[in-house]
Each structure stands twice: as C-alpha cells, then as structure tokens.
C-alpha cells in the first residue's frame, strides 16, 4: 500500500512540475539578421530580449512566454516592439510551435521576421 501511495505521489509531482525550455530565435529586418538570442526559460515565465542594430539605429524588444499545449506542442506568446527614431511598430500575439520545429512570425508587412525554435531541457 505504501509503495502504491508513493508511486501516486511521484506521478502527481511529475505532472505538475514546471517545464524548462530553451528558445532559439532569430530576428531579421528587411531580410538581414539583426540578432539571434537564445534563452532558457520556465513555462509561464517571461523571457525578454533587447536587440540594437548599429547599422539602422533600430531597437527591437522581444518578449516570449512559453505555455504547454500538449506533449508535442508549445504556445509561445510574444510581444514585439521596434523603434526607429520617431517611428514605433508594436505587435502582440501567439504562435503554436511543435517542439524541436521552427515557427515564424512576420510583422510590419514582412519587413520584420522572427524565427523561433523551442526545445525542452
């Protein structure tokens, strides 16, 4: 009886454990890479990147929050802000990505592309 209770407890703990993810991203502006940040983040927690492109004088802010959808699928909520002198572009949304596969988000009429890949660690 004790062993069955212990197995049940271990199962409950493993099902409720927060998953850790590694997110690889690449931000392209007009087809040129301006940054490729990689981060480790817990499920439901925010990862924030700030990328400054010295050529175009643009600043890119990217926030990502991973949430488990299923065993093989993760939803990444994103918030993106691009600033250039007196112009701002802002977008918020989510993308569902199979684990270990790439997803893409295109913003500002295709001027900005964010490539994302997520893995459990």
Render pLDDT for 88-104 as a digit per residue (tens, 0 to 9): 889 999 999 999 899 99
> What's the CA gap between 70 and 87, in Å, rounded?
39
DSSP string, 23-83: EEEEEEETTEEEE--EEEEETT--EEEEEEETTTTEEEEEEEEEEE-SSSEEEEEEEEEEE
pLDDT tens across 65-93, in order?
A: 999 999 899 999 999 998 877 778 899 99
What is the separation of C-alpha 24 from the centre of its chain, rounded to a whole number of angstroms? Answer: 8
Is domain 19-120 given the CATH code 2.40.128 in the classification? Answer: yes
Rounded Cα distance, 64 and 77, in Å: 6
pTM for this predicted structure: 0.76
Domain boundaries, the chain: 19-120
């Amino acid at each position: 009886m004790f062993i069955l209770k212990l197995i049940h407890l271990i199962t409950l703990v493993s099902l409720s454990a927060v998953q850790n993810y590694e997110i690889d991203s690449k931000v392209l502006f007009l087809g040129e890479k301006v940054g490729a940040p990689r981060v480790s983040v817990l499920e439901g927690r925010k990862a924030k990147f700030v990328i400054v492109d010295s050529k175009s004088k643009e600043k890119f802010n990217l926030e990502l929050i991973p949430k488990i959808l299923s065993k093989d699928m993760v939803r990444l909520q994103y918030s993106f802000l691009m600033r250039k002198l007196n112009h701002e572009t802002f977008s918020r949304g989510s993308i569902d990505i199979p684990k270990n596969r790439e997803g893409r988000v295109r913003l500002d009429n295709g001027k900005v592309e964010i490539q994302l890949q997520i893995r459990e660690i």
